[in-house]
A and B are shown apart, each in its own frame.
Chain A
Amino acid sequence: MLEVRNLRKTFGDNVALDDVSLTVEPGRMFGFVGANGAGKTTTMRIAMGVLESDAGDVRWDGASLTKSRRADFGYMPEERGLYPKMKIAPQVAYFGELHGLTPAAAKRAAGEWLDRLGLGDRGDDFVQDLSLGNQQRVQLAVSLVHDPKMLILDEPFSGLDPLAVDTMAGVLADRSAAGVPVIFSSHQLDLVERLCDTVGIISKGKMVAAGTVTELRRSAGRRLRVNVADATPGWEQTLPGPATSCGDGEWLVDSADDQGVLAAAMAAGRVVRFGYDEPSLADIFREASA
């Protein structure tokens, strides 16, 4: 289990992180969302030990993280990094060795992952000769080669074609199912919603929401969507809570008194639509970041 606790980080006068905490549990996938510059990358870099925080700490299984324990982590930085003039298979194996594998084990693992990611026959090619999407697959292989106990991936899906997205999502789901805590950031909210058990929303250096997607929806304040055909204009004044128009006679009502809203709607005319509106993650995100 990875625990990030009360991180604070400033760059000059700019407060990049302000009391950021999050928890990634074993077998769970944590989606980290936030606008550009909100602090996702900084948080992940601190978690990987690439940056130092000004305050707060990162704990792994209840103890503070050391360099050697971080060697068990798999990391994909936002701005991808590979040696352009090095062959793929030795390169993946090199990172395996850096993470503590023996040369033989690293070579074997590199071969396995490249096979699995569809690059098995390109091991002797130079990285610079690969397409960007394939370089990204190599990057994933680099973060997975040592069978990490924790995966931290910064924007792993950016720039991937739909097929590669499926491959990446499959691999992540597979690792997660094997009990590995996974945290990744993404701007593709539909993907986060589909893949993640837990979502954290960060805005301007602060965690503004965190929890399961269901919890977030609930806390986002469920609203009632109601549509009354042939209602006289101004009928919404009779509703027990503030209402906003969505056009075409539809209204979103902020009220906990669902039966009261229904009664008012029935009194106003023929109710053609009534129900709780499930906000999408994008709605929650917009609201939380506003």
Chain B
Amino acid sequence: MKGVWLVAKREILTRGLSRSYIVGVVVSAVLVAGLTLLPGLLGGPSEYRVVLTGTESAELATAIEAAAEGFEEFSVETAEVADPEAARAEVEAGDADAAIIDNTTLVTESGADQQLAVVIDGAHQAVTTQRQLAEAGFDPADVNAALTVAPLQDDQLGGDDAGARQGIAYFLVIVLFFMVMMPTMYVAMGVVEEKSSRIVEILLSSLKPWQLLVGKVAGLGVLGFVNLAVPLAVGLAMGDVTGAVAELPSGLTGTILSSLVWWVLGFCFYAAMAGALASMISRQEDMNSAIGPLTMLMILSYVVAAVYAWQPTTLVARVLSYVPPFSMFMMPVRDAVNDAPLWQQGLSALLMALAAVGMFALGATIYRRSVMRTGSKVKLTEVLRKSS
């Protein structure tokens, strides 16, 4: 274990203290912190001002304000002005979002925002209908009663916030993909660096090949984890302060935290594979072809997950959430929409952990058999067939 620790420590110290790494962590933390402020900046309450003039202004104003109350984070302030010129002037100056003249003309800069238009249109319909019915001889009280309609009940079959949950699941898939991809590449590059500089020969005179592989994966894994966890912690803390976390659909904080576990499992799986594949080549130029199978598998599982993030309760999604390495993306997706009980997540994590261990065993074998062979790319079949 001491050998593993020394190798890991060297990775952590040499890369972790490098300027590029530290800057990277700080930048992502700042970006994530900025993201938590976004909802407040973009999705804040919409406030409108509507000016009215001429006939039925008072009725319209009352109707508009009443309708606006039905919406959350939406409010309309109304005011009466002296004449049409004043109303147009307010809209032109940008002081008002809309002006209504004589309950016949709507003045805006370039059309009213959708929600505002709906409210104004509704008010216009209501006030006009009421007047016309009254003119036709109906009792205003009866008219009023007849016109009062209870709003439609909102019943989302996907449960509350289904859209938000799927959006966050999709976001998690993207984050997991990139956060696993990056340190995995570092593992591959590090293995080739040691092999191409032949330093591996000195290392292997005092270390076993598996110690070198495990130490490298562990060291770069710690750095990758910090790179993921620090921005996440900053984001959650900031979100707590700004109230963004409280607005998350319930249980999603847990999903975000458990995605850290999925990250660890997924990284171990892919990093072991990357180390093994990279040990078969001697030059950085051969990297793309060497780790081609890994990139393919990773992109495939990412694309599948990205598609099924929007259909997380289908059979395919449920099956794939148990199949390593697809499960590292699919299970968080299902968890995000509350489709996976804890035992299912545990079972899937266990399978993924077993796959990672298996990949380590296979990777260490490939690594041991090919790391000392230099020159052209070692063939995988050759490495696997060799019995010694």
Interface assignment of B226: CB less than 8 Å from any CB of chain A: no
Q: How far is the CB of A151 from chain B (nearest CB, A)?
A: 12
Beta-carbon contacts of A99-114 to B below 8 Å, as 1s and 0s? 1000000000000000
Interface assignment of B153: CB less than 8 Å from any CB of chain A: no
Whether A79 contacts B201 in the complex (CB less than 8 A), given A51-B372, A98-B3, A98-B6, comes out as yes
B14-A52 in contact (CB<8A): no
A67-B208 in contact (CB<8A): yes
Q: Contact residue range for chain A?
A: 20 to 34
B202-A142 in contact (CB<8A): yes
Q: Which residues of B contact A67 (CB under 8 A)?
A: 206, 208
B207-A98 in contact (CB<8A): yes
Q: Which residues of B contact A82 (CB under 8 A)?
A: 197, 199
Q: How far is the CB of B11 from chain A (nearest CB, A)?
A: 11
CA distance A13 to B68 in the complex (A): 87
Whether A81 contacts B204 in the complex (CB less than 8 A), given A50-B372, A94-B6, comes out as no
B10-A81 in contact (CB<8A): no
Q: How far is the CB of B226 from chain A (nearest CB, A)?
A: 20
A85-B14 in contact (CB<8A): yes
Q: Which of A52, A71, A75, A83 contacts B388 (CB 8 A)?
A: A52
Whether A49 contacts B6 in the complex (CB less than 8 A), given A81-B199, A83-B197, A84-B197, comes out as no
CA distance A143 to B193 in the complex (A): 20
Q: Which residues of A contact B206 (CB under 8 A)?
A: 67, 70-71, 95, 98-99
B197-A81 in contact (CB<8A): yes
Q: How far is the CB of A56 from chain B (nearest CB, A)?
A: 15
B200-A81 in contact (CB<8A): yes
Q: Which residues of A contact B372 (CB under 8 A)?
A: 45, 50-51
Whether A50 contacts B201 in the complex (CB less than 8 A), given A67-B208, A83-B193, A98-B206, comes out as yes
Interface assignment of A273: CB less than 8 Å from any CB of chain B: no
Q: Which residues of B contact A45 (CB under 8 A)?
A: 201, 372
B198-A81 in contact (CB<8A): yes
Interface assignment of B299: CB less than 8 Å from any CB of chain A: no
B201-A77 in contact (CB<8A): yes
In residues 1-36 of chain B, which contact A (Cβ within 8 Å)?
Answer: 3, 6, 10, 13-14
Q: Which residues of B contact A48 (CB under 8 A)?
A: 201, 205
Beta-carbon contacts of A29-70 to B below 8 Å, as 1s and 0s? 000000000000000010011111000000000000001001
CA distance A268 to B14 in the complex (A): 78
Query: Residue of B at shortest CB range from A79?
Result: B198
Whether A77 contacts B198 in the complex (CB less than 8 A), given A50-B372, A86-B14, A98-B206, comes out as yes
CA distance A82 to B14 in the complex (A): 14
Q: How far is the CB of A208 from chain B (nearest CB, A)?
A: 27
Q: Which residues of A contact B261 (CB under 8 A)?
A: none
Q: Which residues of B contact A70 (CB under 8 A)?
A: 205-206
Q: How far is the CB of A109 from chain B (nearest CB, A)?
A: 15
Query: Residue of B at shortest CB range from A76?
Result: B202
A98-B203 in contact (CB<8A): yes
Q: How far is the CB of B228 from chain A (nearest CB, A)?
A: 24
Q: How far is the CB of A129 from chain B (nearest CB, A)?
A: 15
Q: Which residues of B contact A99 (CB under 8 A)?
A: 206
Q: Which residues of A contact B14 (CB under 8 A)?
A: 83, 85-86, 90
A50-B205 in contact (CB<8A): yes
Query: Residue of A at shortest CB range from B7?
Result: A98
Query: Residue of B at shortest CB range from A127?
Result: B197
Q: Which of A75, A84, A90 contacts B202 (CB 8 A)?
A: A75
Interface assignment of A80: CB less than 8 Å from any CB of chain B: yes
CA distance A70 to B208 in the complex (A): 12
CA distance A83 to B198 in the complex (A): 10
B10-A94 in contact (CB<8A): yes
Some 8 contacts from A to B, beta carbons below 8 A apart, are A45-B201, A48-B201, A79-B201, A81-B199, A83-B14, A83-B194, A83-B199, A98-B203
Which B residues form the contact surface with A (CB < 8 A)?
A: 3, 6, 10, 13-14, 193-194, 197-208, 372, 388
Given contact pairs A79-B201, A81-B197, A82-B199, a sample of 9 additional A-B residue pairs in the complex whose CB atoms are under 8 Å apart: A48-B205, A50-B205, A50-B372, A52-B388, A81-B202, A94-B6, A98-B3, A98-B6, A99-B206
